[in-house]
Chains A and B, each alone.
Chain A
Amino acid sequence: MRRLHRVGLTATLIGGGALAVVAVTSMSRGAEGPVSSGLSWLGAATRSIEHWARQRIAGPGRAEALSWFAPMRDDVARLRNPDVILLGAFDTGIPQTLDGVVHLEQELGTTFPLIQLYAAWGDKPEQRFPRSVVGAIADLGSIPMITWEPWLTDFESARHPGLLLPAARELHGLAAVARGDYDFYVDTWAREAARYGRPLFLRFAHEMNDAYRYPWGPQNNSKEEYIAAWRHVVDRFRLAGAHNVLWVWSPHVAYEYWELYYPGTDYVDWVATGVLNFGPIAQWSQWWTFDHILGPKYPGLASFGKPVMVAEFGSLAVGGDRVDWYRKALSEIPARYPAVRAVLFFEVAADQTVTYQKVDWTVAGDSVLAATIRQAISPWAPQNDR
């Protein structure tokens, strides 16, 4: 073989090999390999074919009830400043099924524009961007709201030799996030969110000012570290082109100094908090009305000039009149809390996150309560069935 041919052949082989590598790598998505990517593409294709086939057979379905919401649903600017109160819910059936949400809707005579889900940071497959749930929620006509919890210890040391050992990660963990130590993970979410493309609420590191709940609280991190981490994460998403994400900043207003954790007006789209009445079941608690809980804090929340979200809304049944609690709360919201633009039911039957015993927040199944709520939200046109 002549020298030119040899050189040519070698160059072709190397070039071909390089192209093959690029092709195979580009089939993958970040931490997901090409095989997994191919499979999830196949899964997504199956889902959309089935959704399409169902629409052909059974008609438009739930999305039709949200047609009033359709223009707003894909308009990030309008979602930053909505002119109606958006209802929503989280249900423990997620991510296996959204039936629980639909069941609640039927009882309340409404169709929720927002559906909440919780996602923790980590290596496991269920800790990746929840593509299928997000897609399913969108196909049902709603917008997903993901509460995104930075559990830093769920990353395996073996796979991430650059990280500290799990036991050492939580102290100043948010500083590490801000430094970019977790960009390998944040970036995959950012890319996925950008790829999804439609509006999406992200409630990142909520209740950051509560020192007793989550590791991203003040027991491990300073306010400055929290703000730096928040801004870093938002910047990574913007860098990836995920301008479709609406950032929901969500302090726990029962604790002091929550205002000091505000990451800045350019970095926040919505301000949120939970309004949950635990009643007298815990020592630290008593029967508080919606006004008791939110009233004193509302001016502060509204002062940021952003729409306010009640991200977890509910009352237990023990120690007071639950029906009355909901009636008052819902009838007061439009007039007394005009900045509140979203209320999300917390449909959890056995919640143990705060208390030692399991507590039941569910509304579905209590027909008197359901009728009351239905009546209370009926003036909130246009989202309710009449």
Chain B
Amino acid sequence: MSRTDASARSGTAAAGDLWRHRTVPAVRFRHRLVLFALTGAGLASVIRLADWWFRADHVAQPVLFVILSLAFWYGIGRIVLGWVNHVALVRTEHRAAPAAMPVAIFTTSAPGEPLAMFERTLAACARVRYPHQTYLLDDTRDPRFREMAERHGAVWLELVDVPGAKAGKINLALALTSEEFILVLDPDHLPFPEFLDRVLGQFDDERVGFVQVAQAYYNQSGSFTAAGAAEQTFVFYGPGQMGLQGHGACVAIGANCTFRRGALESIGGHGVGLAEDLVTAIRLHAAGWRSVYVPEVVSRGLVPEDLGSFYRQQLKWSRGVYEVAFTELPRLFRHLTWRQQLAYLTIGTYYLSGATMLVMITIPYLYLWTGLQPATMRFAEFLAAAWPVAVIGACMYGAVQHWLVDPKAERGVHWRGLVLKVASWPVFLRGTVLAVLRADVPYIPTAKRAVRGRFLRLAWPQLALMACYIVTLLQVGFVRAMRTSEASLELSSEAVWGMVGFATLPILAGLGAVYAARQAGRPAERDPWESVDVTMIGGDA
């Protein structure tokens, strides 16, 4: 899809629609029945697949077989965990917010962030209906920010040279303020007037420490990267978090979490680090606080529009998520319920897919160059054993889309998200290696504005893989035309060309990433927030 098509699609009618408050449908008994049935059938088919996979006959090279099995079953394991999560899916009942709760909105600005964006954010904050006080936590040293904050009725707090980036500023601001409830708002997010009314009622329960809302975007049609990055989050911010809620483990992640001051204070303030939100969530859970997920669109923000920003965001998150897995999770493990343990383990190992993708990518090359193969499995047999898992997985994916927060915009097969995920393996892998080595990743706020990325710097891993693929194809062609005996040619044909086909799949995903990298070379002329009219935000869909 070309850029112009994409912008045409988000024309005025759709754009107006984008800014309406939305909630998900109720979870009825019949829905739950379907989810249970699918999960049951899915588990049965996974057992059947395992029974086939782990046959001694299938082991060709023991070490490689173990590696391949780990990579493959990591993927299947994640699918199963997704099903188990979806079975518990609940929709939190709305509770009316009592009057006169003292509530603050914290939003942070950093040097280099665009003033025009804050103009809209603060205007939108001012339009949030429930009485509140907005604070701008500013370290830009730019007087225009102060002027703007005051113009929108926000309190300007100058917090320069604070260690710990965003979270450091939040903790300092906590000491300077007294409101009992604090919404930590990402500066690129425009809250709807309904925001606090939809959230605050949940704090009726004294045990609730934080309330997280859905995350939605307004620039996802801006580029291939934006569409893919947004697609990757659709299921998580609908049925995914609703399932976690059902398991008592919904997490503060992404943006726009509202905290109880007492909760934050009980853990010594907002967590600091590359995944500060997740660190805060796990500490609160360990301290016994409950979390509530409100599956509603009450704000919209920005998703990375260019591939470079997406990669940086993913690298930062991967490092942060591993920090939770390596540091917080072992320390707090026994303070969590088993479902929370499972949830954080699942989240903490998300970026392992970089390593498993590497395994999957390497296998065909290993075979084509050295003849080594991990397993003697026939592809037809594999399909016969695996198709029920795939079909049930697809059915489940379709079924849970019922609870997407914005079904009209978000329903679909999300192929761009898949392409981007498969192609991001070098970034995921780098995050994994850095985490294991305890190497530092500098804190970079996710870019608010599409950054002009250098094509080669973004695309080189994919281009290198493609070069490797082409060289391998030439080698295979040469060997088969010139070096393979006639008596072996036909009997090795299926295996060799099957492996070539297997090697082609990541190349297709790589083409998507190369396209995204090319697009990143010519970012949009207009910033996404320029077309947003803050007075049009809000109201029910």
Contacts and interface: CB of A to CB of B under 8 A. Distances in A.
Contact of A35 (B380, B481, B482): B380
A204 B433 CA distance: 59
B490 A96 contact: no
A47 B493 contact: yes
Given A46-B493, A96-B492, 14 more contacts: A35-B384, A39-B380, A43-B498, A47-B493, A50-B480, A50-B489, A50-B497, A54-B481, A62-B487, A97-B488, A102-B486, A125-B378, A135-B490, A136-B490
Interface residues of A, number: 30
Interface in A121-163: 125, 132-133, 135-136, 139-140
A98 B494 contact: no
B175 interface: no
B380 A36 contact: yes
B265 interface: no
B497 A46 contact: yes
21 contacts: A33-B384, A35-B383, A36-B384, A39-B380, A40-B380, A43-B494, A43-B498, A46-B497, A54-B480, A54-B481, A57-B481, A57-B482, A62-B486, A96-B491, A98-B487, A99-B485, A125-B381, A132-B491, A133-B491, A136-B487, A136-B489
Interface in A28-58: 33, 35-36, 39-40, 43, 46-47, 50-51, 53-54, 57-58
Contacts of B492: 96-97
Given A46-B497, A57-B481, A99-B485, A51 B383 contact: no
A115 to B, nearest CB: 10
B399 to A, nearest CB: 24
Given A61-B486, A98-B487, A125-B378, A43 B384 contact: no
Contacts of A43: 493-494, 498
Contacts of B488: 96-99
Interface in B490-535: 490-494, 497-498
Contacts of B54: none
A95 B498 CA distance: 18
Contacts of A33: 384
A101 B488 CA distance: 11
B415 interface: no
Contacts of B378: 125
B490 A51 contact: yes
B344 to A, nearest CB: 39
Interface of B: 378-381, 383-384, 387, 480-482, 485-494, 497-498
A136 to B, nearest CB: 4
A99 B487 contact: yes
Contacts of A133: 491
Given A35-B387, A46-B497, A125 B490 contact: no
A193 to B, nearest CB: 19
A139 B381 CA distance: 26
B383 A39 contact: yes
A63 to B, nearest CB: 9
Contacts of B497: 46, 50
Nearest to A115: B487
Nearest to B378: A125
A57 B482 CA distance: 8
A97 B487 contact: yes
Interface of A: 33, 35-36, 39-40, 43, 46-47, 50-51, 53-54, 57-58, 61-62, 95-99, 101-102, 125, 132-133, 135-136, 139-140
B40 to A, nearest CB: 21
Nearest to A94: B491
Given A35-B384, A53-B481, A125-B381, A102 B487 contact: yes
A101 B493 contact: no
Interface hub of B378, B481, B487, B498 (most chain A Cβ within 10 A):
B487
Contact of B489 (A36, A54, A95): A54
A328 B379 CA distance: 49
B65 to A, nearest CB: 19
B490 A132 contact: yes
Contacts of B381: 36, 125
Nearest to B488: A97
A39 B382 CA distance: 12
Top-5 shortest CB links A-B = A98-B487, A136-B490, A36-B380, A43-B494, A97-B488
Contacts of A132: 490-491, 493-494
Tell me which of A125, A136, A139 has the highest count of chain B C-beta atoms within 10 A of its own C-beta.
A136
B380 A47 contact: no
A146 to B, nearest CB: 15
Contacts of B485: 97, 99, 102
B190 to A, nearest CB: 49
B373 to A, nearest CB: 12
A51 B481 CA distance: 10
A129 to B, nearest CB: 14
A263 B345 CA distance: 68
Contacts of B482: 57-58
Contacts of B498: 43
B531 to A, nearest CB: 47
A361 B492 CA distance: 26
Q: Which of B380, B383, B384, B488 has the most CB of A within 10 A?
A: B380
Nearest to A100: B487
A96 B490 CA distance: 10
A54 B486 contact: yes
A101 B379 CA distance: 28
Contact of A95 (B380, B387, B491, B493): B491
A95 B493 CA distance: 13
B149 to A, nearest CB: 63
B396 to A, nearest CB: 21
